[in-house]
Amino acid sequence: MVTNRQLEREPAPDAIMLGVKIGVPRETAEGEQRVGLVPETVTRLVRDGFEVIVESGAGRDYNLDANYEEAGARVVPEADGVYSEADIIVKVARPEGDEVERLREGQVLICFLNGPQHPGLVKRLADAGVTVFSNEAVPRTSVAQSMDALSSMGSIAGYKCALVGANSLGKYVPMLSTAAGTTKAAKVMVLGVAVAGLQAIAIMNRLGAEVFAYDIRPETKEQAQSLGATFIDSDDEREDGQEEDEYVEYEPQGFRKLMTSLGFYSFAEPPRDEYVVEGEEEDGRGSGEDEGWSKEKLEEDQRLVRERIREMDVVITTALVPGRTAPQLVDREMVESMKPGSVIVDLAAESGGNCELTEPGETVEHEGVKILGPVDLPSSMPIHASQLYSRNMYNLIGHITEDRAEDKDEKDPHLALDFEDEIIDATCIAHGGEVRQEATREALRGEAEESEAR
């Protein structure tokens, strides 16, 4: 399980590892084409004093063994050579089958694991003494942005799902004028305006679609509009249906007019209880939007989404809650209200789906509407997906290690886990034989209760 050299080391204090080796095994999940680290990143890690061990073929046809060797990595023929020596294992997908058995006490595993959906796996790894960092748990803060692989992969997924939707639609996306006449631009609705949703909006807008967007978070409205989408907002609909009040210039009357004529110009200002002064319109609004929309407004928005979806040619759903089942946004009735030939692309298919009729990895046709449930979309762009993921991993590894070399010309990296650090505390879901993430512990309790009920 460990080399002789490792056995001869002095026992290190808790959460401190000497002579850090990073291992990159070949991904074994079906259809997974990405790799944990690319040669570009390996070069940087070797320069930082790490030793990198890569399983032969880990980079598939995009990053060859020779490229890794040129970057300074040691390529080994089998996965055992990676797991037996490495202190930190960098993967993309969660470990499966034999991979779990290969992981040993004291090793660090970094991957997409989604603990709340796979609590049993996290428990097995914790029981084995493995320290687990789950990429889904990286906090969404400015400091952690460079380590946020979920956002990196979300951007790629948003790009691909827009292309999948356009490719599945039996008509042009842009408006085109031909000798036979002019075709209308396709109408596209994007539900969920996070990283993936914003990317989908941008791509569909570039393709020439008429794009609509919706999200329950007020701050997303301006973001969607900045990329060319029309944000579905019941308040806007209500304002459009009302005539704009005529602006009336204030003129002092009676006593106020007399005092103004005598030079007392303060009387020329309108009474604040009767008039709104230009430039002060927003002062009394409060912070309603910052606090979120009211329940009544959200219900009105949902009604409007139901109405608008009937006009759409493509609906892209991107709403995901890390560690939880995806919220249902499109029910059977909404699907049945759509036009024959329209398409739904459900980016949340792997997490339960935003559409009631979604089947992960399948294309379902219901009353003339296609519902696509693509899985692992980032893996369909393995070159850039691996590059971005690898850069995220480099930054995360740099955050959980420290250089303790006394000579500035030397490098002496150590693993040093400071659980007072927000990023380490949130991202490390198992350590020291314990499951640290509360959401995963809740899932474990739920499984235990279900087992007892049987």
* DSSP secondary structure of 388-436: HHHHHHHHHHHHHEEE--SSTTS--EEEE--TTSHHHHHHEEEETTEE-
CA distances to 163, 239, 244, 432 from 277, in Å: 49, 21, 17, 63
Give me the domain span that covers residue 156.
Answer: 151-246+280-379
Among the listed residues 89, 71, 105, the one whose alpha carbon sits nearest the alpha carbon of residue 35: 89
Q: Assess whether 363 and 401 both reside in one domain.
A: no
Q: Assess whether 371 and 411 both reside in one domain.
A: no
Q: Assess whether 373 and 284 both reside in one domain.
A: yes
Q: Assess whether 353 and 220 both reside in one domain.
A: yes
Burial 256-268 (b: 16+ CB within 10 A, else e): beeebeeeeeeee
For 366, phi and psi rounded to 5 degrees?
Answer: -130, 115
Which of 359, 379, 399 is the C-terminal boundary of a domain? Answer: 379
Q: List the CATH number of the domain containing 144.
A: 3.40.50.720
Q: Assess whether 226 and 362 both reside in one domain.
A: yes
Among the listed residues 188, 138, 128, 194, the one whose alpha carbon sits nearest the alpha carbon of residue 164: 188
pTM above 0.85, yes or no: no
Q: Assess whether 97 and 229 both reside in one domain.
A: no
Amino acid at residue number 155: S
Tokens for 69? 């060797």
Among the listed residues 64, 24, 59, the one whose alpha carbon sits nearest the alpha carbon of residue 45: 24
Among the listed residues 197, 47, 98, 99, the one whose alpha carbon sits nearest the alpha carbon of residue 90: 99
Kindly state whether residue 358 falls inside one of the protein's structural domains: yes
Question: For the residues of 27-67, what is the DSSP string, one character each?
Answer: P-STT----S--HHHHHHHHHTT-EEEEETTTTTTTS-HHH
Q: What is residue 7's predicted lDDT score, i.e. its pLDDT? A: 36
Q: What is the rounded end-to-end Cα distance, in angstroms, of the chain?
A: 39
Q: What share of the chain is helix, strand, coil (3-state, %, to 5)?
A: 40, 15, 45
Q: Assess whether 113 and 202 both reside in one domain.
A: no
Q: How many domains does the chain have?
A: 2
Q: 63, 40 in Cβ contact below 8 A?
A: no
SS3 282: coil
Kindly state whether residue 53 falls inside one of the protein's structural domains: yes
Residues 287, 290, 292, 296, CA torsion sign: positive
The pairing of beta strand 428-431 with beta strand 131-134 = antiparallel
Q: Assess whether 116 and 193 both reside in one domain.
A: no
Q: Assess whether 27 and 95 both reside in one domain.
A: yes
* pLDDT tens digit at each of 454 positions of the chain: 334 433 333 333 444 444 799 999 999 999 999 999 999 999 999 999 999 999 999 999 999 999 999 999 999 999 999 999 999 999 999 999 899 999 999 999 999 999 998 999 999 999 999 999 999 999 999 999 999 999 999 999 999 999 999 999 999 999 999 899 999 999 999 999 999 999 999 999 999 999 999 999 999 999 999 999 999 999 887 666 554 444 556 676 765 665 565 555 555 666 555 544 444 444 444 444 446 888 999 999 999 999 999 999 999 999 988 767 899 999 999 999 999 999 999 999 988 999 999 999 999 999 999 999 999 999 999 999 999 999 999 999 999 999 988 888 889 999 999 999 999 999 999 999 999 999 999 999 988 887 777 6
Kindly state whether residue 142 falls inside one of the protein's structural domains: yes
Q: Assess whether 136 and 202 both reside in one domain.
A: no
Among the listed residues 291, 360, 313, 66, the one whose alpha carbon sits nearest the alpha carbon of residue 204: 313
Kindly state whether residue 40 falls inside one of the protein's structural domains: yes
Which residues face 178 on adjacent strands? 181
CA dist., res. 13 & res. 321, Å (int): 36
Q: What is residue 269's predicted lDDT score, i.e. its pLDDT? A: 62
Kindly state whether residue 266 falls inside one of the protein's structural domains: no
Q: What is residue 337's predicted lDDT score, i.e. its pLDDT? A: 97
Kindly state whether residue 448 falls inside one of the protein's structural domains: no
Q: Assess whether 169 and 241 both reside in one domain.
A: yes
Kindly state whether residue 308 falls inside one of the protein's structural domains: yes
Q: What is residue 250's predicted lDDT score, i.e. its pLDDT? A: 61
